[in-house]
Structure 1
């Protein structure tokens, strides 16, 4: 348990440091070991969407929790870095899901609010944090609000921002160290969230071709940037491109490295 507490403390310190924490989301042992072995990587995060896809399930808690946790446990066991797990919405019992994740070595996690009534969402955040305290660790909850990802194209952006701030502040007030707001990419909205939540309190996802570079997010005061399902899509894009080259009469890409 001492090692678990140390990993949790390390992960928390990475979120509060001046340097932004860049987390590349992984989905199996080989992706985890490749990422963990890359210079500059200090922690890992799993991607629920990608793990579900690996086993042939749609995203959204369709993969059985036992199967999901089994893969996460394999990832944790394969690396020496702190690992954060995507809990999705907590599988019906956020506290119990957190306890089970901690039992396999997880020291941080994402929890979606899915725009549930705020009291219910806050209670779920508190349940996860309580599970960490019961285990004797400072569990690093990346409390996610879906205000932006669930907003329609014609939504009032100011109202969406206000909703994200209200929910984010509520999660911070009960002890979440960082608030995850996927779907926010515009510089002015990122800056407004940092201003409202505080520096090193905001976590965002990097969307290919749309998001600000990690260095610019750091300058704005963002605590953490992760990659969600997009890293698996990067890998699958490279695979499809290689196959296309082969079936059209070519060869596999030069420079392919023996990473497994």
Structure 2
């Protein structure tokens, strides 16, 4: 099993090769092991996938930092691959909270993590610019203090909160880069010209959220041509799995039939993937 420092070095190198890194998002140890068996190279946790698993709503503060880090540790322990985490807004509003969340993330074996500029306040969903930059700077300082590279991702959340302001998004990402972020991320960008503009505006790797439900589904090659260095899936895999679950349950309840079973893997096949 590689050490945390070795996984960190591998993870960083994957951001700087010729083709983009596709980061899969498992939501528990079993899905992490299946994704590893299928050939994915690195993981990040999904706050949405975890929230649904716990029967809660994502983005409402209903999942605690301890719960999120326990989930991350289970995924870290399940595989030899590098694992990062969706650390939401750092589980606190202050720069100090963001920095402490980075330190705690490292303590469970993570080698990367993202912190967003979303406040959780529906009246003012995005932190003011200066405060957002201060939070990123504090988190980046905590990451730089480590004895190995930690891929700290700074997220500009405008587009997930109905603020389709590309200029402000780029301004924030540029400031986050200057403050020390290693990866820049504006989830919700869907137009090719917007993604290209963001990639051209910064020097650090840009992560793009793929597989959004109601958006153009750009391929890995198409995203690479726009300058994207990293692609993540967010809750997409958990949504795909749970959608199949709901369709199967509805068939049983509504029709009294079990046709869904014909398209499933056998239990043995799934155990071979998950348990090795």
Output the TM-score relative to the length of structure 2.
0.85
C-alpha distance in structure 2 between counterparts of 1:240 and 1:135, whole Å = 44
Match of 2:194 in 1: 189
Is the contact made by 2:33 and 2:78 (CA closer than 8 Å) also made in structure 1? Answer: yes
Match of 1:223 in 2: 229
C-alpha distance in structure 2 between counterparts of 1:119 and 1:88, whole Å = 19
Match of 2:263 in 1: 254
C-alpha distance in structure 1 between counterparts of 2:246 and 2:50, whole Å = 19
Is the contact made by 1:129 and 1:139 (CA closer than 8 Å) also made in structure 2? Answer: no
Which sections of structure 1, spanning at least 5 residues, go unmatched?
none
Deviation by residue 1:13-65 (Cα, 9 ceiling, x = unmatched): 111222111112111111111111112x1100100121122112221231122
Q: Which residues of 2 match residues 1-260 of structure 1 at below 5 A?
A: 3-39=3-39, 41-60=40-59, 61-92=61-92, 93-114=97-118, 115-152=126-163, 160-198=165-203, 201-206=205-210, 207-208=212-213, 210=215, 211-247=217-253, 248=255, 249-251=257-259, 252-257=261-266, 258-260=269-271
C-alpha distance in structure 2 between counterparts of 1:119 and 1:112, whole Å = 14
Count, aligned residues: 251
After TM superposition, what 4+ stretches of structure 1 lie above 6 angstroms from structure 2?
Answer: none
Is the contact made by 1:20 and 1:214 (CA closer than 8 Å) also made in structure 2? Answer: yes
Deviation by residue 1:54-93 (Cα, 9 ceiling, x = unmatched): 1122212311221221111111011100001000000111
Is the contact made by 1:52 and 1:68 (CA closer than 8 Å) also made in structure 2? Answer: no
- Return the offset for 1:250: 3.0
Counterpart secondary structure, 2:3: helix
Deviation by residue 1:181-217 (Cα, 9 ceiling, x = unmatched): 111011111111112124x622111113623112100
Counterpart secondary structure, 1:184: coil
C-alpha distance in structure 1 between counterparts of 2:148 and 2:139, whole Å = 12
Counterpart secondary structure, 2:159: coil
Which sections of structure 2, spanning at least 5 residues, go unmatched?
119-125, 272-276
